[in-house]
Structure 1
């Protein structure tokens, strides 16, 4: 599937958590398909960098600083979209964090931090986005979950709980707005070489065997877990996002891009 198969010309997209990684990959894919794309992120510099790359493609963009934990900040983000771009056709809620620890090790603060950003943040963004989409009579909302929203992983019980929650929320919300021309779906990345997996503090470092480097552990996990034998990329996630942004009758789904790992 290539982005050229799906035209998003004239569409306005908002990527929350679009400053880097998967969010930036989705933003670039939507822009290449023709959308004007706003980038919202907690880090203003990262948001500005992605917005600048989108403008190089000849699309309109803007950077918005947002804290998805704060209802007022989320409402201000949507007010900026409406003021500067007039409408909202596509929203991707990708903001999220991860930390590692067994259930025995986890602190209440770690649990609360993940739930506040990964799950409450999705709720707050969806609620605000819905109000603007209703004014236009249609919309496409894509919430980033994870393969960990379908399959549990050791040392990620809190993250897994938050991502299972995103899928359940997405399915229920989709049914609430199904008659309004608004679709709501969850995108479930598989093993992507971002901070959750890479580095000595990521899963490939934590799960390295005796005498094994982080890089060797990363390669082993790709081979062992993925039927295709190789990790996915942010651009892979962008391909699915373009499809979901174009599909009027796909809603309430949790779709994985994971090289065949999950059912």
Structure 2
């Protein structure tokens, strides 16, 4: 990321989007590839990732699909090796994989708690750890972790998810301090309620209450989250962001 080209975009950057076949991940892949990035769509659903990559290639974009299970260390290591081989290196990582369930604390099993934290926080740790050697080889780079406004404000019946996403924000700050001197800028994006299938496991009551409480009066769309990622990944737009959390959240959290 030491290019002197200051077009505010990411032309020529080599990007890995983990969870790239999900709703928000796909919107990120779409935008970054449209802006000239070469993108690996890394997802546990390889068929969906491959379909997206194939479509982008038909549109004369550079895109590849790689299978990844972010709860499996060996899978993460292998996925980064394959991604770097496909792209010729890595400049940008976007950690966009996640999961959510809903349970009152006294009905939540340890297995449910552990799985949600493992995917939402443990997966970010593994992705960041494994990408660092590639970013160092490239002379620097960007990491963007997708957090959530729930990790900033909390939410009843989502204690596991809130803890994990708050952890992502804290992890982002700590890692940013650790590697900024190497030209590796680590930041987060914490979307508010977004219209995706991701929240299909939540109750109708929870979804209705959420929408009504937003100052903007509506939830967001994945395409409205992706530009925050583009900003953090771009030069010179993202050059001064270190350990920050951007909040495209319809006013749910105001910092």
Structure 1: distance between partners of 2:210 and 2:183? 41
What corresponds to 2:168 in structure 1? 166
What corresponds to 1:189 in structure 2? 191
Structure 2: distance between partners of 1:232 and 1:169? 25
Question: Aligned Cα RMSD in Å?
Answer: 1.4
For this pair of structures, how many residues does the alignment match?
A: 245
Superposition deviation, residue 144 in structure 1: 0.7
Unaligned runs of 5+ in 1: 208-216
Structure 1: distance between partners of 2:85 and 2:197? 34
For the 8 Å contact 1:188–1:255, the answer to whether it is kept is yes
Partner SS state of residue 104, structure 1: helix
What corresponds to 2:46 in structure 1? 44
Structure 2: distance between partners of 1:108 and 1:97? 16
Structure 2: distance between partners of 1:119 and 1:139? 21
Partner SS state of residue 243, structure 2: coil
Give the TM-score normalised by the residue count of structure 1.
Answer: 0.89
What corresponds to 2:145 in structure 1? 143
Q: Select which of 234, 254, 257 maps to 2:245.
A: 254
Partner SS state of residue 15, structure 1: strand
Tell me if 1:134 matches 2:136. Answer: yes
Q: Select which of 234, 238, 245 maps to 2:222.
A: 234
User: Segments of 4+ in structure 1 off by > 4 A?
Assistant: none
Partner SS state of residue 64, structure 1: strand
For the 8 Å contact 1:25–1:235, the answer to whether it is kept is yes
Alpha carbons of 1:56 and 1:20: their partners in 2 closer, same or farther (altered >3 Å)? farther
Superposition deviation, residue 221 in structure 1: 3.6
What corresponds to 1:211 in structure 2? none
What corresponds to 2:74 in structure 1? 72
Partner SS state of residue 231, structure 2: helix
Structure 2: distance between partners of 1:109 and 1:233? 31
Structure 2: distance between partners of 1:43 and 1:7? 29
Superposition deviation, residue 176 in structure 1: 0.3
What corresponds to 1:178 in structure 2? 180
Partner SS state of residue 121, structure 1: helix
Superposition deviation, residue 196 in structure 1: 4.4
What corresponds to 1:112 in structure 2? 114
Superposition deviation, residue 143 in structure 1: 0.5
For the 8 Å contact 1:15–1:23, the answer to whether it is kept is yes
Structure 2: distance between partners of 1:159 and 1:54? 32
Unaligned runs of 5+ in 2: 1-6
For the 8 Å contact 2:100–2:199, the answer to whether it is kept is no
Give the TM-score normalised by the residue count of structure 2.
Answer: 0.92
What corresponds to 2:154 in structure 1? 152
